[in-house]
Structure 1
Amino acid sequence: MQVDEESMRPVLNRLRRAQGQLAAVISMVESGRDCKDVVTQLAAVSRALDRAGFKIVASGMRQCLADDSGSPPMTEEELEKLFLTLA
């Protein structure tokens, strides 16, 4: 499944933001920051990654439904499995 570049731009932005947040979490752990602050930031990283994953799946679904390439569309089971991997 290929996702168009326009759909990938926001995904890449989210992933880059998550990458920066994760670097901040690592720095916080290394400097001995309060556990509550670390966990809060770690939760933010997790949400950012989840949102990026959901955006990829949603974009892929839209593209699969409109796909004229002749390749078979994803089955309901395949789509369900994709969603559950993000749960």
Structure 2
Amino acid sequence: MDYPNEIKNRIKRADGQLAGVLRMMDEQKECTDIVTQLTAVRAAVDKAIGLVVSANLERCVRESAISGLADAEKLVHDAMNLVIKSR
């Protein structure tokens, strides 16, 4: 699957945030500040997961409608299970 730049940019941003957390640890920053930044990283990754699943689900449903081979309801169910498992 070809992932949109929007998703890739979110991952790059989360990567930068995580590098910032490591810097904060090296600088002996306060625990609350580090946890705040880690929470932001987790939120960014969660959003990226949602976008990846959504883009993939959209493609799968569209292809199944064209080919008539897959059950769209099962595709949606599987996608939701994937999101839930990622939590």
- TM-score normalized by the length of structure 2: 0.81
Q: Which residue of 2 aligns with 1:61?
A: 57
Residues 59 and 30 (structure 1), Cα distance of their counterparts in 2 relative to 1, 3 Å cut: same
Using the size of structure 1 for normalisation, the TM-score is 0.81
C-alpha RMSD over aligned residues: 2.0
Distance of 1:29 and 1:73 partners within structure 2: 48
Return the offset for 1:81: 2.0
Report the alpha carbon displacement of residue 56 of structure 1 after superposing the two structures with TM.
0.4
Task: Give the gaps of 5 or more residues in structure 1.
Answer: none
> By how many angstroms is 1:80 displaced?
2.9
- Counterparts of 1:1-87 in structure 2 under 5 Å? 2=1, 4-5=2-3, 8-67=4-63, 68=66, 72=70, 75=74, 76-87=76-87
Give the structure with the higher percent helix. 2
Percent of aligned pairs sharing the same letter: 33
- In structure 2, runs of 5+ residues without a counterpart are none
Moved more, 27-36 or 61-70: 61-70
AA aligned to 1:83 is V
How many residues matched? 83
